[in-house]
């Protein structure tokens, strides 16, 4: 066909490139993770996540207003639970006046239209740093799912629009859906962490919430009996299809960059929105390389976010959300 077809014609200048660009990033793409702590006037930088913070409720208000002004309309809440409130069953998670429940109300109060999603898992509440109840060294599946359902109802009561179970117990989406329906929360959605891999990229997040598995006898040292083996591909599709059958409104692949092959396959396979979580370790890697002057922070950030959307993400949970939106606005 050459020279009838010269592909470079569509690349000659920015005007033509932008005219034919397939993937455009906007504030609507993002879900912003937020870390909440007890206290007043607290804005603590997370050591392994430069320029990312934990906020006490008063400063969370300020942050949420700023996000809204930037056009960021969805948040995903995580709480750092004081050590003395943690136990094996995550009892504190069900406290109607717990930090998560207060955080939901705080966000809804300052910004009623902000979409509030909440993390549903035991690990921030677990004295062992696991996403489930432990008995004789085993993570109990069904007993954990029952607590996650109660937790979801408690978040819905506080005003959450969506619950986001990140635990990877079997059957928990159905258990949660039924509990929400029973309590009349028919419009509370579920974003399921459907294909969540046992990844070494979660390290900085576990620093942020002080939620890493503890090093104790008879406590599993990793999450490999519930999170997926990163060598597997078909399993991701199976997990995702099961979650949709059980009632998930949005499914998720996590982490992001190393798993974009999975994102594309799932996007091609399912007809519900697909979320991708660009996790803490991915954030930390770029921040560290940029700090050393080895990578151009903004250029690499945009390349990564665009790649995630190009792979099929309808929703991107990312610690870069604010940076990206400031850059493109
Ligand atoms: C907890 C949870 C984790 C993340 C989100 N929810 C950590 C884990 O599974 O150990 C990780 C997010 C990140 O690394 O940014 N269930």
Q: Which of 254, 267, 287, 322 is catalytic?
A: 254
Q: Which of 188, 202, 216 is nearest to 88 (CA)?
A: 216
Residue 105 catalytic? no
Binding annotation for Mg(2+): 239
ipTM value > 0.85: yes
Nearest residue (CA) to ligand 1, atom 2: 166
**Long-range contacts made by residues 270-273, C-beta under 8 angstroms, separation at least 24?**
270/240, 270/241, 270/244, 272/244, 272/248, 273/249, 273/314, 273/315
Predicted confidence (pLDDT) at residue 2 exceeds the cutoff of 90: no
For ligand 1, what atom is nearest to the CA of residue 212?
10
254 catalytic? Reply is yes
Q: What is the pLDDT of residue 3?
A: 85
pLDDT interval class at 228 (50, 70, 90): very high
Residue 156: the pLDDT is 98
Reported confidence tier of residue 51, pLDDT bands at 50, 70, 90: very high
Q: What φ, ψ does residue 111 adopt, rounded to 5°?
A: -150, 75
User: Is 319 in contact with 33 (CB distance < 8 Å)?
Assistant: yes
Q: Please compute the mean of the pLDDT values over residues 189-194 and round it to a whole number.
A: 98
Q: What is the pLDDT of residue 318?
A: 98
| The pLDDT of residue 98 | 98
Binding positions = 239
- Span from the CA of 205 to the centroid of ligand 1 (angstroms): 6
Pocket, ligand 1, Cβ cutoff 6 A: 119, 121, 123, 131, 166-167, 202, 205-206, 223, 279-280
CA of 123 to the centre of ligand 1 (A): 9
Q: How far does the centroid of ligand 1 lie from the alpha carbon of residue 3, in Å?
A: 52
Residues near 84 by beta carbon (within 8 Å), at least 6 away in sequence: none
Average pLDDT for 91-109: 98
Q: What's the mean pLDDT in 121-130?
A: 97
Cα distances (Å, whole numbers) of residue 78 to 101, 113, 312 = 11, 19, 25
Report the C-alpha gap between 149 and 171 in whole angstroms. 11
- pLDDT at residue number 56: 98
- pLDDT over 80 at 18, yes or no: yes
Domains annotated on the chain, with CATH: 23-328 (3.20.20.70)
pLDDT, the chain, mean: 97
Q: What's the average model confidence in pLDDT over 13-42?
A: 98
Q: What would the mean pLDDT of 21-25 be, rounded to a whole number?
A: 98
- Mean pLDDT along residues 112-120: 98
Distances (CA, A) of 130 to 81, 112, 177, 212, 228: 14, 33, 23, 8, 15
Instruction: State pTM to two decimals.
Output: 0.97
Q: How far apart are CA 99 and CA 130, in angstroms?
A: 19
pLDDT band at 130 (very low <50, low <70, confident <90, very high): very high
| Whether pLDDT at 170 is above 80 | yes
Average pLDDT, integer, range 280-306: 98
């Amino acid at each position: 066909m050459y020279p009838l077809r010269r592909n470079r014609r569509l690349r000659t200048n920015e005007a033509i490139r932008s005219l034919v660009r397939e993937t455009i990033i906007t504030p609507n793409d993002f879900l912003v993770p937020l870390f909440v702590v007890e206290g007043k006037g607290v804005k603590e930088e997370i050591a392994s996540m430069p320029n990312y913070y934990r906020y006490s409720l008063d400063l969370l208000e300020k942050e949420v207003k700023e996000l809204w002004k930037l056009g960021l309309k969805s948040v995903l809440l995580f709480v750092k639970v004081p050590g003395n409130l943690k136990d094996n069953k995550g009892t504190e998670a069900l406290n109607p006046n717990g930090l998560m429940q207060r955080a939901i109300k705080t966000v809804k109060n300052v910004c009623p239209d902000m979409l509030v999603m909440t993390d549903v898992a035991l690990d921030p509440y677990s004295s062992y740093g696991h996403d489930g109840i432990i008995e004789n060294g085993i993570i109990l599946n069904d007993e954990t799912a029952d607590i996650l359902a109660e937790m979801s109802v408690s978040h819905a009561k506080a005003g959450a629009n969506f619950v986001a179970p990140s635990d990877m117990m079997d059957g928990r989406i159905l258990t949660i859906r039924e509990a929400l329906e029973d309590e009349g929360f028919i419009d509370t959605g579920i974003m399921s962490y459907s294909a969540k891999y046992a990844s070494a990229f979660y390290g900085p997040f576990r620093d942020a919430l002080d939620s890493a598995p503890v090093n104790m006898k008879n406590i599993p040292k990793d999450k490999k009996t519930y999170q997926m083996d990163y060598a597997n591909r078909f399993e991701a599709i199976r997990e995702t299809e099961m979650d949709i059958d059980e009632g998930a409104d949005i499914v998720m692949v996590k982490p992001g960059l190393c798993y974009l092959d999975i994102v594309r396959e799932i996007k091609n396979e399912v007809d519900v929105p697909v979320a991708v979580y660009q996790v803490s370790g991915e954030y930390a890697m770029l921040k560290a390389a940029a700090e050393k002057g080895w990578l151009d922070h903004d250029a690499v950030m945009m390349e990564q976010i665009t790649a995630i959307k190009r792979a099929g993400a309808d929703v991107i949970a990312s610690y870069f959300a604010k940076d990206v939106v400031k850059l493109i606005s």
